[in-house]
Structure 1
Amino acid sequence: MSLSFSVRVNRAILRALVLTLFLTGFSQMALAKSLQQAVAVDYLQGEGDVQGLKLAYQHHVDWLHGLNPRLNMLFEASANFWRYGPANSSDSNAVLAVSPILRYPLGQAFDLKWDLEFGIGVSLLDDTRFAGKDVSTHYQFEDRLGLVAWLAPDRSLSIRYLHYSNAGFKRPNPGLDFVSLSYGWYF
């Protein structure tokens, strides 16, 4: 592991902790009434040889229950660590992201409850050149579409499509696409 990568990862971890503490403090002040939190670990598979790990903190809120009691909203702060290529000569990137997410229950099948989720957030990439692509900007939008299976009231398994792009604010804008498998614990 190079010193440069180690410093970038340490900075990314520090940023993720500060961001998580900020979001937690904001949420605690604004939403003292309803607290449901979760942590999640995701395995990410991107285009080609891109792989990653995502560590996320989620805070559920009841802001939309007045519109539809079945509609759920949560805020997620995450730290992502991506790698491209073989381990001995890999290209890496550290990413911080914050995203509001909407979830809607679809029903029950195969003895599990299922939710559909959608979200558009923002992310900060450590490096704008990754996996042979120049994404132009450190700031990217994080779009997601997912399917959540509830294994128990406090555990979920999700499959998601994630897309990172700067929405055309600067060229080039090739975007980065991932499929993720996520396991969440709720408390």
Structure 2
Amino acid sequence: MFFAKQLLTPLAAAAALLAMPSAFAADGKLIDSVYGEFASGTQTQMLRAGVTSDWSQRWFQSNGTHLSGYWDASAGAWRGNRYQNVRGAKQHLYDIGFTPVFRFQRDDKKGFYAEGGIGVHFLSKLYDNADYRLSTHFQFGDHVGVGYVFDNNWELGLKIQHFSNGGYKKPNTGVNFLNVKASYHF
């Protein structure tokens, strides 16, 4: 129930943005897809909602495939199961992120894809979950993933994501997630 309540604000903001005419650029769409993710790992669960904007650039185009990418803006809610400072309590925090993502895909943007990205995230609290601790609000979030875009514009994906501050302040054990993503492309 915690996650349902916590994601209402990001989902409402994304819906309001999509409903506004200014959300679309003169030459096409500014927002190309909306998505939701569930992630689990390192004694923590996360729900995330986000929007993406595709890049128009195509590199290494050959045999019906190319390398391109998209901008990803997201908001998420985390729940840690073993909060260090209060034994047995759960830790709740939020993150806002922005990530450039490279994607290798077919020219028609359907079918299988592989992707990877490194972005920035801001955590609402310092993460302190038993043996896993992040000592700064600012974190890097990197991921690698695979997925499939269906003919009806729905996408299902799976990715491995790692959060860390890059070692500029200790402790920095990092946090790893396995994410399942559902997305709709406009």
Question: Is the pair's TM-score, using the shorter chain for normalization, greater than 0.5?
Answer: yes
Kindly indicate whether residue 60 of structure 2 is the aligned counterpart of residue 68 of structure 1: yes
Q: Which sections of structure 1, spanning at least 5 residues, go unmatched?
A: none
SS in 2 for 1:71: strand
Displacement after TM superposition at 1:129 (Å)? 2.7
Displacement after TM superposition at 1:80 (Å)? 0.9
Letter in 2 for 1:117: E
Partner of 1:80: 76
Q: Deviations 1:18-65 (Å, cap 9, x if unpaired)?
A: 9x97xx9x9966xx43436111111111113x1111111111121x22
Seen in structure 2, the aligned counterparts of structure 1 residues 128 and 91 have a Cα distance that, compared at 3 Å, is: same
Query: Could you say which structure has the higher helix fraction?
Result: 1
- Whether the 8 Å CA contact 1:106–1:116 is kept in 2: the answer is no
* Aligned mates of 2:48, 2:167 — CA distance in 1: 25
Name the Cα RMSD after superposition: 3.4
Letter in 1 for 2:95: V
* Aligned mates of 2:137, 2:55 — CA distance in 1: 29
* Aligned mates of 2:185, 2:106 — CA distance in 1: 20
Letter in 2 for 1:104: F
Alignment of 1:1-187 (within 5 A): 13=9, 17=13, 32-35=26-29, 37-48=32-43, 50-62=44-56, 64-65=57-58, 67-69=59-61, 70-85=66-81, 89-105=89-105, 113-132=111-130, 133-187=132-186
Q: Deviations 1:68-89 (Å, cap 9, x if unpaired)?
A: 3422211111111111228x94
Give the share of equivalent positions with the same residue, in percent.
24
Seen in structure 2, the aligned counterparts of structure 1 residues 106 and 179 have a Cα distance that, compared at 3 Å, is: farther
Displacement after TM superposition at 1:130 (Å)? 3.0
- Whether the 8 Å CA contact 1:93–1:130 is kept in 2: the answer is no
Letter in 2 for 1:93: L
> Moved runs in structure 1, 4+ residues, more than 4 A?
26-29
* Aligned mates of 1:124, 1:135 — CA distance in 2: 12
